[in-house]
Amino acid sequence: MFDAIVIDKDDDGQRVTVKPVAFPELTDGDVAVDVAWTTLNYKDALAITGSSPVVRSFPMVPGIDFAGVVAESRHPDYVPGDRVVLNGWGVGEKHWGGLARRAQVKGDWLVALPAGISLRQAMAIGTAGYTAMLCLMALEAQGLPPEAGEVVVTGASGGVGSVATALLAARGYRVAAVTGRREEADYLGRLGAATIVDRAELSDKARPLNKERWAGAVDVVGGTVLSNVLSMMKYRGVVAACGLAGGMDLPTSVAPFILRGVTLRGVDSVMCPKPERSVAWQRLAEELDMRLLESMVTEVPFERVPETAPLFLEGKVRGRMIVPLS
Ligand code: NDP
């Protein structure tokens, strides 16, 4: 039996408790991992609060990512003692997730942790940081060099936004950080943001086209903010869109695409193919300044996860929230 956060649902609604759970025998291809660190991501907050139908079956152990040490393996690539990280694949949604002292998953879903990165650092990065790297890789794949001009990051004080800001700045891009929290301006400057943009500037209904402002964008917000970003892209600008913190809709027009040749590139971390994941994790180990990463981190005790999750939906989380388990 292993302690876990468990979401149950019945006719009376959803309940979240901390209690021991048992796992079935490993089948071929499975790996059991002693979870050392996990995290709270925006999607975990949606699952734990029940404010969006993230969880597909009950009872569910939430937690879309974890880092730990292999305890048992029936997969040819892993042996006990290996250090591994997991992001996505429906874990914490359809399969029991990382908010537990033990996780049991398909070995094909795991990535071997690159040398030089600790289990704690892996989760300080977490799915948010790994997604930020996927966004950077998407901008690069579309041929956006640092000389093209400023890159805007929305939701910059949050998890994806903080890591994206640090990664882009380290790569030589000039970063404009959009935030609704002016009090985080110094924090964002330390991460490498050259310009701070008040979210209010991007909150009104967007015109089809606006003054050209940015060569690239990493958007975690969606909705009106993304439609304003699109309207302000320079000729042949590239936008990597990964989030919906401000809404699922996208009230835009074709104008940025057909008149300025703007590219809107979607980024998904959940089903991202394994080779790309491995590249992303290797690059995170090499390119992310681990002292800056530490400045993004807040530790949350395991037992306090249920009461902490709503902070994400209130837009009050700065950087990354990590949860120790060992
Ligand atoms: P966080 O809560 O840490 O960050 C989101 C940030 O967005 C907030 O800190 C805030 O930044 C801003 N924000 C919050 N609410 C609003 C609002 N109503 N309007 C405008 N801005 C708002 O979340 P994460 O960084 O972990 O995740 C960000 C988004 O990316 C989420 O929607 C998440 O689901 C998505 N995501 C998608 C992935 C994928 O695979 N596609 C993977 C990981 C995350 P500030 O106060 O600075 O403005």
Residues 138 and 43 in one domain: no
Residues 155 and 102 in one domain: no
- Measured from the CA of 269, which atom of ligand 1 is nearest? 40
Residue 272 lies in a domain: no
Centroid of ligand 1 to alpha carbon of 292 (angstroms): 19
Task: Report how many helices (DSSP H) and strands (DSSP E) the chain contains, helices first.
Answer: 10, 15
Residue ranges of E strands in the chain: 2-10, 13-21, 30-40, 65-73, 83-87, 102-106, 111-112, 151-153, 175-179, 193-198, 214-219, 233-241, 263-266, 297-299, 320-324
Residue 285 lies in a domain: no
CATH code: domain of residue 320 = 3.90.180.10
Q: pLDDT under 70 in the chain at which residues?
A: none
- Domain's final residue, options 223, 250, 266: 266
**Closest residue to atom 9 of ligand 1, CA basis:** 158
Centroid of ligand 1 to alpha carbon of 221 (angstroms): 6
Q: Which residues of 86-105 are buried (b: 16+ CB within 10 A; e: fewer)?
A: bbbbebbbebbbbbbbbbbb
> In total, how many domains does the chain have?
2
Residues 213 and 100 in one domain: no
Residue 149 lies in a domain: yes
Element (H, E) at 325: none
Centroid of ligand 1 to alpha carbon of 159 (angstroms): 7
Checking ipTM against 0.95, whether it exceeds it is yes
| Ligand 1: lining residues by beta carbon, under 6 Å | 41-43, 127-128, 131, 155-161, 179-181, 199, 220-221, 225, 242-246, 267-270, 312, 315, 317
Residue 245 lies in a domain: yes
- Measured from the CA of 46, which atom of ligand 1 is nearest? 34
Range 93-96 contact pairs with CB under 8 angstroms and sequence separation of 24 or more:
93/43, 93/47, 93/54, 93/55, 93/56, 93/60, 93/64, 94/56, 94/57, 96/4, 96/21, 96/23, 96/60, 96/61
Centroid of ligand 1 to alpha carbon of 2 (angstroms): 31
Residues 252 and 131 in one domain: yes
- Domain's final residue, options 226, 249, 266: 266
Residues 18 and 79 in one domain: yes
Other beta carbons less than 10 A from residue 167's beta carbon: 27
The pLDDT of residue 203: 96
- Tokens read off for 63: 């937690």
The pLDDT of residue 326: 83
- The span from the CA of 201 to the CA of 224, in Å, is 11
Other beta carbons less than 10 A from residue 303's beta carbon: 11
Residues 151 and 66 in one domain: no
User: Which residues, other chains included, contact 314 with Cβ-Cβ below 8 Å and sequence gap of 6+?
Assistant: none
What residues make up the domain containing 133? 126-266
Residue 281 lies in a domain: no
Question: C-alpha angle with apex 271: 269 to 274, nearest 5 degrees?
Answer: 90
Residues 20 and 147 in one domain: no
- Measured from the CA of 160, which atom of ligand 1 is nearest? 25
Residues 224 and 300 in one domain: no
Residue 179 lies in a domain: yes
- Tokens read off for 236: 């042949």
Closest to 269 measured CA to CA, from 34, 62, 65: 65
**Closest residue to atom 27 of ligand 1, CA basis:** 42
**Closest residue to atom 33 of ligand 1, CA basis:** 243
The 10s digit of each residue's pLDDT in 254-284 is 999 999 999 999 999 999 999 999 999 999 9
Residues 156 and 217 in one domain: yes
- Measured from the CA of 242, which atom of ligand 1 is nearest? 41
Residues 309 and 213 in one domain: no
Residue 247 lies in a domain: yes
Residue 24 lies in a domain: yes
Residues 130 and 246 in one domain: yes
- Domain's final residue, options 266, 288, 308: 266
Residues 61 and 134 in one domain: no
The pLDDT of residue 127: 97
